[in-house]
Structure formats: structure tokens, C-alpha cells
A and B are shown apart, each in its own frame.
Chain A
């Protein structure tokens, strides 16, 4: 892993389109500013981990616990399902 020391107001470039700057430092918290093209998604690492965890929980689904439409919608009305 590349490790760089930066002060408040300084930044680093990732490629030529993504700029990450140190906006503020308070105690053990660092505020980062990120400039990136709109098609580059920026999110906290935890979001990625949460989706991984949720996928693992979902993959364990047992066919026996899958509810039927009747249980989902007490009074029946067809919502117009589109399928493949």
C-alpha cells in the first residue's frame, strides 16, 4: 500500500481525474474532499461491506420460508408484473 503524508489543504490525485484533499483534521477524524467525474462512484467502505453481508444473508434463503403473493397482499389486486 502506498502511504503519503498530507497536511490540511493538500491533496492527492488518483489518475488524472480524481482528487482527494484533506479538508480538516479533528482528533482521530479526518474530513476528506473528493472531486471525481460523476460516473465514478464514491462511497464509504462500510456500504460495500454491508452489501456483501446482506448478500450472504440473502443467499441462505430457504425455499420453505418464501411467502406467496396472497400473504403479501391481503386484498388481491394485480399490480401488473413485468417479467423477462
Chain B
């Protein structure tokens, strides 16, 4: 399938890259079909709307800069996207990248949860007071590295 993308123009994508958000994302409830692309810049991904080329989100694994991150996803949400076991769950956070020179932030209060088997996803809302919508990625990554001088523990979400 060919998809017009904001980052790479029109590209051919595999069915395995398609992600369906039955309820859309908050503020974008009318968009259900997306594709997940590896960004050429690691550790980022693009979540590109299939229907509106100008809507594309930069995603990353929240554990990349916050090894202590645990989303408080409730059972009803897991059920909604058909999660049968913990190894099916993938968690991403949306990164906000303002104009050059400004601070890049990640939204840990509204993580995306994704079923890697069925490719169905939704945006969750965390009620844990530790997580806000604007975490400074670079600052918190530096802090995490100070706390744990050896490499951050490897963990998949």
C-alpha cells in the first residue's frame, strides 16, 4: 500500500506497519488509520496518519529516557485493544519537538498502548501524579544516567 508521509513523501508500506486506533487519539478522534515507521533518526518512530498527511507524531520508547517509567494502564484498556499477555503490549510516548533550539518534551501522561499482535492501539491517560504531558527528554535522560552510572537496565515494555 502506498502512503503519503510527512517525513518521507509517498512510500510503499507493508501491512505489518499499519496501526489502527479505533477511537483515534485525543484531539484527533476522526483519524483511525496510521502507519508506524522507523525514523531515520534513532530512537524515534513516526506515527503517520494514512488519511491526513500533515498529521504525524514522533514517538519513542519512554524507557529510553525514563527507565523507571511504568504506565498505569487499566485492565479495561488492555481488553479494549485485545491484549492477552504482557508480551503483546508495546508502549510509546509522543514527543513534541518545537522549532529548532527549543526543548524537546515527551508526553508520559498520555502514552500510546499498542497490541503488537493485532496492531490495534489507543491513547491512555495516566492518573499517576509522577507523569505529566511535558517531560524534558534530555534533562531526564541525563538525570537517569547520573543515578545509574552503568547502562540502564534493558527492558521491553
Contacts and interface: CB of A to CB of B under 8 A. Distances in A.
Interface of A: 38-43, 47-48, 50-59, 61-63, 65-69, 72-73, 77, 79-84
Interface string B54-72: 1111100100100000000
A50 B155 CA distance: 29
A81 B41 contact: no
Q: By DSSP majority rule, is chain B's interface helix, strand, loop, or mixed?
A: loop
B110 to A, nearest CB: 4
B151 A77 contact: yes
Q: By DSSP majority rule, is chain A's interface helix, strand, loop, or mixed?
A: loop
Interface size class of B (residues with CB under 8 A): 35 or more
A35 to B, nearest CB: 15
- The interface centre, meaning the residue of A42, A55, A80 with most chain B CB atoms within 10 A of its CB, is A55
B1 interface: no
A39 B42 contact: no
Nearest to A64: B100
Interface string B119-157: 000010101000001100110010000000001101011
Contacts of B95: 58, 61
A38 B75 CA distance: 9
Contact of B110 (A42, A55, A66, A68): A55
Given A68-B42, A82-B154, 16 more contacts: A39-B75, A41-B74, A51-B107, A52-B27, A55-B27, A55-B28, A55-B94, A55-B110, A58-B57, A62-B97, A66-B41, A67-B41, A72-B137, A79-B154, A81-B43, A82-B157
B116 interface: yes
Interface in B30-56: 36, 38-39, 41-44, 54-56
Contacts of B4: none
Contacts of B127: 41-43
B116 to A, nearest CB: 6
Contacts of A55: 25-28, 57, 94, 107, 110, 123
A52 B27 CA distance: 5
- The interface centre, meaning the residue of B28, B127, B133, B151 with most chain A CB atoms within 10 A of its CB, is B133
B116 A84 contact: yes
